């Protein structure tokens, strides 16, 4: 993991999570919801992130790639996006039907099945990137997705219409904040700035514990 990712991008994810947590818990505007003003704050925050991204865009990394014609590249990207959309929709729709058949709550469905379905593109992209030894793309994809979901998606959505918030989700926010903090410090264990297999296994174990918690909380 690049030094900048450890010292900048991961803290940005943490700060973004804490910001949303404070907003939905009535620390600024509204009460247990994301109001239009909250959305403005989130969009201002994502604007600052864009400034940061453009600032590091001049940094280059040397690796071999097979160049395709621009038209073919655009077609493949569009087809890939369509495929991800159709695949994600099929996973979410049919998984929700299964969950409803098993009589579990909508909250449980949203935090597990729907979350998994919407995260499949990130998982596929990261796995392919790792296989092709483009680690920075794999990690940047995940961190960037979290930042965009927290700031841009919630910001735009709350401006269009205020989003009501269930305080019971605070424990899930704490899981997310705790996981980000653990990731940060884990990158200083063993070989510096590297996600080892034991660390990866521990994260999978933590997620399993979280799923068990959700199942019993349903």
Predicted confidence pLDDT, tens digits, the chain (218 residues): 777 777 888 899 999 999 999 998 887 555 678 888 889 999 999 999 999 888 876 665 555 667 788 899 999 999 988 987 888 778 778 877 877 787 777 677 777 777 877 787 788 888 888 888 777 777 888 888 899 999 999 999 999 998 888 888 888 899 999 989 988 888 887 677 888 888 889 999 998 888 888 877 76
* DSSP code per residue over 22-80: HHHTTSSSSSSEE-HHHHHHHHHHHHHHHHHHHHHTT-----------HHHHHHHHHHH
Asked whether the beta carbons of 114 and 92 are under 8 A apart, the reply is yes
Compute the distance between CA of residue 3 and CA of residue 5 in angstroms, rounded to an integer: 5
What the block records as the tokens of 7 is: 């010292």
How many other CB atoms are there within 10 angstroms of residue 201's CB atom?
10
């Amino acid at each position: 993991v690049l030094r900048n990712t450890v010292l900048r991008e991961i803290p940005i994810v943490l700060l973004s999570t804490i910001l949303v947590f404070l907003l939905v818990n009535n620390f600024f505007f509204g009460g247990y919801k994301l109001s239009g003003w909250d959305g403005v704050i989130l969009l201002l925050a994502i604007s600052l992130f864009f400034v940061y991204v453009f600032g590091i865009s001049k940094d280059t990394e040397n690796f071999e790639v097979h160049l395709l014609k621009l038209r073919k590249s655009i077609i493949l990207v569009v087809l890939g996006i369509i495929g991800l959309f159709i695949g994600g929709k099929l996973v979410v729709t049919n998984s929700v039907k299964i969950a409803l058949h098993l009589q579990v709550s909508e909250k449980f469905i949203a935090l597990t099945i729907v979350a998994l379905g919407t995260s499949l593109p990130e998982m596929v992209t990261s796995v392919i990137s790792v296989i092709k030894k483009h680690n920075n793309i794999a990690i940047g994809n995940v961190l960037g997705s979290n930042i965009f979901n927290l700031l841009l998606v919630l910001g735009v959505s709350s401006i269009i219409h205020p989003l009501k918030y269930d305080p019971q989700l605070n424990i899930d926010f704490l899981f997310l904040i705790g996981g980000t903090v653990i990731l940060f410090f884990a990158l200083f264990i063993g070989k510096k700035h590297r996600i080892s297999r034991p660390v990866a296994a521990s994260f999978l174990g933590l997620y399993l514990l979280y799923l068990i918690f959700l199942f019993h909380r349903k």
